[in-house]
Amino acid sequence: MDQPTSDPRRSPRSKVFLAAILECADGELSVTLRDLSEHGALIETPNLLTEDVEVWFRRNELRVHGHIAWVEGKFAGVCFSRGLKREVVLRHINRPAPRSIEDPVHRRPALTRPGMSPEEQRWSDEILSPTLRKSGGK
């Protein structure tokens, strides 16, 4: 059986969609950060970038020196001069907060669990009784 081809990257990427800044000799460029890892970043920008240009990558308080490793259309790869620690990378990736287990469950009566609570039964009787009286049924 063939072994799957391993990813040649040095560190795992975290997919994101965040605003960032590239500082280069020409000034500052607003970019969209598409993924971030310990060794680099994938950015998207409508501005024309050139390979091997030295840059400072900025996202909030994170500021890392690096260079443009490759450019393809509106996408470019930034290779950091020094690798970031994993906890630094994770700090800059917004993950949704886990939902509290204590959050109330909002559900429609009798659709998510078998049977109805006494309150749900009373509510349905109030709604259905005028309709049943009109039709003469039970």
Could you list the pLDDT tens digit for every one of the 138 residues in the chain?
333 444 455 566 677 788 899 998 889 999 999 988 888 999 999 988 899 999 999 988 889 999 999 999 999 999 999 988 877 776 666 555 666 666 566 656 554 455 677 887 787 778 777 655 565 655
Question: Using alpha carbons only, how large is the chain's radius of gyration in Å?
Answer: 28
27 forms bridges with which residues in the sheet?
Answer: 24
- Enumerate the domain spans of the chain: 14-91
Q: Does the structural domain 14-91 have CATH classification 2.40.10.220?
A: yes
Contacts of 84-91 with CB under 8 Å at 24 or more apart are 84/38, 84/39, 85/38, 86/11, 86/38, 88/62, 89/14, 89/36, 89/37, 89/38, 90/14
- The DSSP letter of residue 81 is S
Look at residue 28 and give its three-state secondary structure.
strand
Q: What is the pLDDT, as a whole number, of residue 56?
A: 95
Among all chains, which residue has been given the structure tokens 């390979």? 51
Check: pTM over 0.85? Answer yes or no.
Answer: no
Q: What is the pLDDT, as a whole number, of residue 43?
A: 94
Q: What is the pLDDT, as a whole number, of residue 79?
A: 93
Range 13-42 burial, b when 16+ CB lie within 10 A, else e? beebeeebbbebeeeebebbbbbbbbbbbb
Q: What is the pLDDT, as a whole number, of residue 54?
A: 95
Q: What is the pLDDT, as a whole number, of residue 1?
A: 36
Among all chains, which residue has been given the structure tokens 């501005």? 47
- Residue 26 tokens read as 């020409």
- Residue 17 tokens read as 């969609």
